Amino acid sequence: MSAVRLPRLNDYWSARQGLVGVSMAVTCHVHATIFDIVTHLHVAGNRGYKAKDMIYKIKVLVELVNYTCKTVYRQGKDVCINESRYMMQLMIQYRGKTRLH
């Protein structure tokens, strides 16, 4: 599954023409709630703590959000398509039809 990256955080909830709509972000998360979490969440690093997991302080919160998204969101017709793979399949189909062996 691919991740959709947009230039600004507000674009995930935007309905402007030309932007890829992220329906899961709109339906699962309220815009104000996410911004409240982001503005009030401060993670300070411990200098003496050497961990491989950089989000060890908020790991429980991240797992809770991931679990909630998995239970609420059901995959439907809105599926992310890897465009490079799609273009390669089109090229293979096109080349296959033009060869006369």
Each domain of the chain, given as residue ranges in start order, spans 9-98
Cβ within 8 Å of residue 68, ≥6 positions away: 28
- Give the containing element (helix H, strand E) for 66: helix 59-72
Q: Is 26 helix (H, G, I), strand (E, B) or coil?
A: helix
- 21 pLDDT above the threshold of 60: no
Residue 29 · residue 17 · CB < 8 Å: no
Predicted TM-score (pTM) of the model is 0.34
For residue range 36-87, what is the model confidence (pLDDT) as tens digits?
Answer: 777 776 665 666 666 676 677 778 888 888 888 778 766 666 656 566 666 6
pLDDT of 24 over the 80 cut? no
pLDDT at residue 37, rounded to an integer: 73
Average pLDDT over every residue of 20-49: 64
